[in-house]
Structure 1
Amino acid sequence: MKMEKFVDVSSGKRLFLLLLTVVDGIIALKDVSVVIPPAVRIMDTVTLQCDYDLEGEPLYTFKWYKGTKEFYRFIPKELPNTQVFPLPGINVDLTKSTPNKLVLKNVQAEATGRYKCEVSSDAPNFYTFMQSGYMYVIDVPVEEPTIIMEKDLLEIGQPAKGNCTAPASYPAANITWYLNGKRINESYLKHLPVMEQKGKMVPSSGRRLPLITLSGVEVEMDERIFHGGKARFSCVASIFELYNKEKEFTIEEDRPRPRPSSVLGNRDASAGSCLASTSTVICLVLLCLLNFMLR
């Protein structure tokens, strides 16, 4: 029984010491934060920032990972104090990098992924803290989106149907629809992979495929939609803050028009009126002649 008590107390002490270590670590190494751009263009120069407060303790290591793979290490006590491990699409600019920031130049599509900053304090504690963020490397499209509506002339009560297509990109572009400047919901959305680029087949294994975004809309037209006899549809294709293009299409209201009076009918009516007037004159003339002869 005494042995069991001793084990329980020992376990409690270990847990207490562990909690003290964790709390002490939080106090000794705090305010670790990263600034990682969510999206950049291919061939851009990119800065990954990692800020931290060691609370007076010396720095032991400062590392950067892409996914689970380390590609940059800074150890102040070693010479050389900087090491770079090759990874596809990543080119570290050592002349501009510091213990707080990492500069990547000419980034490639393969550099897309999650980046993690790891900071460790020196002896005797060796506290470690990490923060991460995701970065897309985008081949920004040059082309604009295209918008196609089934008809450009519609009567009230008829549906307006159309689609908007954004050029191939990775990640796929977002499409937003507007009607007379107000956002409306799409009726369908598709992402179509492109297997061929610039006349060459894109391998499907081990590489991301560019995607074409296709979005459709269907709206029942009523009196409130037509402004001055017109309704303006527009679609906006966007990829983060790097690509934002808009296309418009205007639909006109087809009003039922009254049928014009027949020109021939009017002419006939005028002719009849004219004939009636002529007959009256002739009758009066004949009556005058007959009255003269009878005298």
Structure 2
Amino acid sequence: MVGESTGYAVLVLLIFFFSIEIEGVKDIAVSIPMAARILDTVTLHCNYDLEGEPLYTVKWYKGQNEFYRFIPKELPNTQIFPLPGINVDLSESTPNEIVLRDVQPEVTGRYTCEVSSDAPLFDTKMNSGYMYVVDIPIEDPVLAVEKDLLDIGEVILANCTAPPSFPATNISWYLNGKRITNNYLKQTEVTNEILTSIRKRFVTTSVLKFEVGDSTFEEGKAVLSCVASLFNIYRGEKKEIIEEAKPKPRPSSVLGPRGESSDCSRIHVPIARVLIFTLFFWKYR
């Protein structure tokens, strides 16, 4: 009987143990800049919750290649594996973040943080994010408008070209501060013979066709804007003023200013009275 009760107790404990959800690493999150300029310093963050378990290792990968490892039980507790363009600043890096100095174009790619808890679980989880190292345009976009004097019903035809960049810039159109949709967008690769670069760059061109309507002009003028942007790092803008060829007369110009109208009424009423008085006088004299 004693053996049976002991076996039953062990079985209950095993069922209870395996029914508990055991997870060594929880809520791993990464914060990676979406974009950085060449030669910038960037910080990659990796935050994790071990739920009380000891840390075994933190690893960072670019693509499939490991370039950083932190193992608290070893000395030295950090290891660097060389990758082109990646320069880890060990003096500023911690188990939760690594600092990359003087980033190069090759640094563009997907970065993954892998965290493992120590024995007995050795639970491992990972999370990742993508970072671009960008070549921003060195100038603002160029805006050309076919005609800057138009009537209602005619078409605004304009061309906006952004200088070379990597990746290609985005172009947006605005009329009187309100965004409008462009009809045609083209990205053209610039050859290395023109630009000395280790990777491709692109020129972005957008053509706008927009029919002029009753609400296009404000006091006979409209402001057309072309905005080229690249992430939150670059923004260039050019503007052109388009004028209405045949402005519609405003009510104030037809009726005249209110003050002037009032003065006329004050002048003409006495004159009318004088004329009536004169006619009355000559009739009954």
Query: Match of 1:110, SS?
Result: helix
Matched ranges for 1:142-157 at <5 A: 142-157=138-153
Matched ranges for 1:19-168 at <5 A: 23-25=21-23, 28-168=24-164
Cα distance in 2 for residues equivalent to 1:86 and 1:21: 44
- Is 2:222 the partner of 1:231? yes
2:278 match: none
Deviations 1:264-284 (A, max 9, x none): xxxxxxxxxxxxxxxxxxxxx
Cα distance in 1 for residues equivalent to 2:117 and 2:94: 17
2:177 match: 181
- Is 2:201 the partner of 1:210? yes
Query: Match of 2:22, SS?
Result: helix
1:245 match: 236
Amino acid at match of 2:30: V
Query: Match of 1:91, SS?
Result: coil
* TM-score, reference length from structure 1: 0.75
Cα distance in 1 for residues equivalent to 2:183 and 2:38: 33
Deviations 1:159-199 (A, max 9, x none): 110111111111111111001111100010011111136x5
Cα distance in 1 for residues equivalent to 2:19 and 2:137: 51
Query: Match of 2:213, SS?
Result: coil
Query: Match of 1:216, SS?
Result: strand
1:291 match: none
**Distance change in 2, residues 1:22/1:48 (3 Å):** farther
1:219 match: 210
Cα distance in 2 for residues equivalent to 1:42 and 1:162: 33
Cα distance in 1 for residues equivalent to 2:247 and 2:58: 75
Aligned sequence identity (%): 59
Q: Which ranges of structure 2 fall in alignment gaps of 5 or more residues?
A: 1-14, 249-285
Cα distance in 1 for residues equivalent to 2:19 and 2:82: 35
- Is 2:162 the partner of 1:171? no
Amino acid at match of 1:186: N
Conserved 8 A contact 2:43-2:100: yes
C-alpha deviation, 1:79, in angstroms: 1.6
Which residue of the other structure, out of 250, 254, 261, is the alignment partner of 2:245? 254
Amino acid at match of 1:112: T
* TM-score, reference length from structure 2: 0.77
Deviations 1:74-111 (A, max 9, x none): 11111221110111111000111111110000000110
1:3 match: none
C-alpha deviation, 1:251, in angstroms: 1.0
Cα distance in 1 for residues equivalent to 2:164 and 2:21: 50
Q: Rg bigger for which structure?
A: 1
C-alpha deviation, 1:153, in angstroms: 1.2
Deviation >3 Å, runs of 4+: 20-23, 199-202
Query: Match of 1:160, SS?
Result: strand
Conserved 8 A contact 2:220-2:247: no
Number of positions where the alignment pairs a residue of Structure 1 with one of Structure 2 = 233
Instruction: Provide the aligned C-alpha RMSD in A.
Output: 2.1
